[in-house]
Amino acid sequence: MMHDNLKVYLLAGLHPIYESLVKFPPSKIQYISSISPKSFDSLEIYKKEYETKKRVIVKLLTILRLPRMFFITKNCDLIHSCRGVLILNRKPWVIDIEHAGSFGDYLKINKKVLIKLLSSKYCKKILPHCMAAAKSLDSAYDISGFKEKVEVLYPAISTHFVKKLKRRKNEKIMLLFVGKGKSFYRKGGKELLQAFDILSKRYDVKLIMKTEPPEEIKRKYGTRRDIEFFSKTISRDELFIKIYGTSDIFVLPTYVDSFGYVLLEAMAAGLPLVSTDIFAIPEIIEDGKNGFLIHTPISDFKLNFLYQDKYLDIGNYIKNRNFPNIVHQLVDKLSILIEDSSLRKRMGRYGRRLVEKGKFSIRERNKKLKQVYEEALKS
């Protein structure tokens, strides 16, 4: 039987993917962590903060060709480690991963150490964020010693802000792109702008890009009234209310995202999605139901879900080339959504159900996670 107020040490970073876990934990679970619920309130999207001690440890482990490992000194019943940090304590622990590379460079690290720790009796569950991450784990390592521990646990998102959203009544259809400035080309920003050049001649539309665009993009598009580059640092609430809440369609033609948490944010705001068919995105977008998938031949990932063998600077590769087929697909799918308001609403409602009650809901995540904790303490 589950203990009341089970103490779980949560080793997590300041990434929005863990916001709902910290703010809305499973019932009767007390998380012990350096991260508080308020830590996310003024968080700029995907900003990362690391303690100096952890940075030094990670650098040292890289030099020694070891996976990321920590020893937890806090008193707790169970340890939940996030994003591939292995635990050295002799007590029950579970770990979630975004990709096989979450442990470190799987081409360079000492795999024997990794497999030994994941196969140990103290490691109770390995929780990939998606099926694609689970497949990448199987492709990168011999998982025969811990295969039964692998169980997909989808991230969740809170919809508490949805009630605050007030849809504007405007003839313009608002398209939204959210991505870090340094990843502008890697997230498909250039192809989206090329597609928008075509769409803006056919429809009364506006493009909002929550990013810091490269200088050459600013020079080319910065004076246009139908394109807004929004680079100001804002709170999470403002992000949802002012950005997601004023948009009609979310677009992320990314070549690099392993999960794409912004897609969940857009679904929580009731927006239909358009994105690429890489890694976990086909698990998020049910093509034709909550959005559309476009095919891209450019990706950080191979068919076995591992990173490309040869390093490819996708940003510079994209910057200096044109991909008319990707642009054409964006124009095609976005045109369908721009012309059909009832389809936009239907897709938006379906997506919101997935985060309210479905596989990306806090209820489903907490139910499964609580079961994982219970089993970890029994075995």
> Is 181 in the same domain as 107?
no
Kindly report the pTM of this predicted structure: 0.89
> Is 85 in the same domain as 168?
no
- pLDDT digits (tens), the chain, 379 positions: 455 678 999 998 778 888 889 889 999 999 998 787 777 765 554 444 445 556 666 666 667 677 888 899 999 999 999 988 999 999 999 999 999 989 888 878 888 999 999 999 999 999 999 999 999 999 999 999 999 999 999 999 988 776 656 656 667 899 999 988 688 999 999 999 999 999 999 999 999 999 888 999 999 998 899 999 988 777 777 888 888 888 999 999 999 999 989 999 999 999 999 999 999 999 999 999 999 999 998 899 999 999 887 656 777 888 888 899 999 999 999 999 999 999 999 999 999 999 999 999 999 999 999 999 999 998 7
Distant-in-sequence, close-in-space partners of 291: CB < 8 Å, separation ≥ 6: 250, 272, 273, 274, 275, 285, 347, 351
> Is 168 in the same domain as 143?
no
Q: Which CATH number belongs to the domain containing residue 105 in this structure?
A: 3.40.50
What is the C-alpha separation between 87 and 134, in angstroms, rounded? 19
Dihedral (CA of 330, 331, 333, 334) sign:
positive
> Is 144 in the same domain as 173?
no
Residue 1 lies in a domain: no
**Whole domain around residue 233: which residue ranges?**
162-356
> Is 173 in the same domain as 147?
no
> Is 212 in the same domain as 179?
yes
How is residue 25 written in tokens? 């934990």
> Is 84 in the same domain as 147?
yes
The CA distances from residue 335 to 126, 193, 320, in Å, are 41, 14, 27
> Is 83 in the same domain as 116?
yes
> Is 98 in the same domain as 186?
no
The domain total for the chain is 2
